[in-house]
Chains A and B, each alone.
Chain A
Amino acid sequence: MTESLLNIASMLMLLAGGAFAIIGGIGLLRFPDVYTRLHAGSITDTLAPLLIVGGLALQSGWSLLTLKLLLILLFLLFTTPTASHATARAAMLAGIRPVTASGHDAGDPNQKEPSSSNT
């Protein structure tokens, strides 16, 4: 009983992780500029490992394999947001500006803030 419950939970987590990975890939293809692609890629890069490694860890119980899986998860949870932050910062320093809906330049420090009268 407990075995099949664990199997079902593991299967659901694996499928959810795969679905999130595909959603992130589609976002990576369809978004318009670096920052939105980074948004799609890095968020699913954090969520999909959480679900997939969690689903795999449920299958092997307490063992050395699970310990190594959790170590992988720990490394990924630390390093993926760091790499994404470094990429966004490097792109910003290189002068790439985010695309905004109004065509207003969101990252330009010389541009005046829109006045509060028209809001």
Chain B
Amino acid sequence: MMEMGLLVCILAIFATMAMALWRAVRGQSIYDTIVGVNVFGTKTVLLIALITYFTGHDDLIDVALVYALINFLAVVAVLKLVRRRDLAASGERGHD
């Protein structure tokens, strides 16, 4: 019975990831893409956590832990890259 709940939740997460991916691919602006990728990354963390419980391999949870950190850094780095066209730009004024 518990496996059934986990499976339904995994399928719901998969459906959400498909919708987020569709929004990322067909977004009108670059920010739509970033929103879609952000949602996709968060749902990936949840998916890995769910798969950890579904398969019983407890070590997989470390992958989710690392992914949660990398996802945030990736979104912020891409935002800065889009804004400044340069990841090494300083935070001083006068850029726009």
Residues of A within 8 A of B (CB): 7, 10-11, 14-15, 17-19, 21-22, 24-26, 28-29, 34, 37-38, 41-42, 44-45, 48-49, 52-53, 55-56, 59-60, 64-65, 68-69, 71-72, 75-76, 79-80, 82-84, 86-87, 90-91, 93-94, 96
Contact = CB atoms under 8 A, between A and B. Distances in A.
B68 A75 contact: yes
Given A28-B36, A29-B23, A76-B45, A18 B83 contact: no
Given A52-B9, A52-B46, A87-B75, A26 B68 contact: no
Interface in B1-49: 1-2, 5-6, 8-9, 11-13, 15-20, 22-23, 29, 31-32, 34-36, 38-39, 42-43, 45-46, 49
Contacts of B2: 7, 10-11, 59
B91 to A, nearest CB: 13
B65 A52 contact: no
